[in-house]
A = this chain, B = another copy of it.
Amino acid sequence: METIAYSIGQLAKQANCKVETVHYYEKTGLMPEPPRTEGGHRLYVLEDAKRLKFIRRCRELGFKIQQIKELLKFIDEPDHYCGEVKAMALQQADDVQQKIDDLERLKLALYEMVAQCKGGRYSINDCPIVEALYVT
């Protein structure tokens, strides 16, 4: 039975990213160096498409390249366990929660400033927002 080959463009389209991104993932070791055609074009297989999509999904979930490398190591090497993956996902979730908390505080500060401000054609000198930030 034959294995179906994909061009880098097809791979990228499937994973919803640019060809250059795949190049980049290859350079940084996330994606393998695939075999080439006579002319030097990269030839991928279905497994590579899976891998690229995995990388992209993880990126969407906010994982950094380094973390994804670790996750891929779990997948590539057989001697790892589910618990390790779970721990990383939990850590990631906590990081996200932290970011949310920070942004909530930020939002509050902004809305408070906005609420203080009458807006309109008052001079900048009387603007409470400027006053709140532009001080000694």
User: Given A81-B121, A82-B122, A99-B103: A89 and B74 within 8 A (CB)?
Assistant: no
User: Given A120-B81, A124-B74: A107 and B136 within 8 A (CB)?
Assistant: no
User: Given A81-B123, A119-B83, A122-B81: A74 and B130 within 8 A (CB)?
Assistant: yes
Q: Give the copy number.
A: 2
Interface residues in chain A, defined as those with a beta carbon under 8 Å from any beta carbon in chain B:
46, 49-51, 53-54, 57-58, 60-62, 71, 74-75, 78, 80-83, 85-87, 89-90, 92-93, 96-97, 99-100, 103-104, 106-107, 109-111, 113-114, 117-124, 126-127, 129-130, 133-136
| Chain B residues whose CB sits within 8 angstroms of the CB of A93 once the complex forms | 107, 110-111, 114
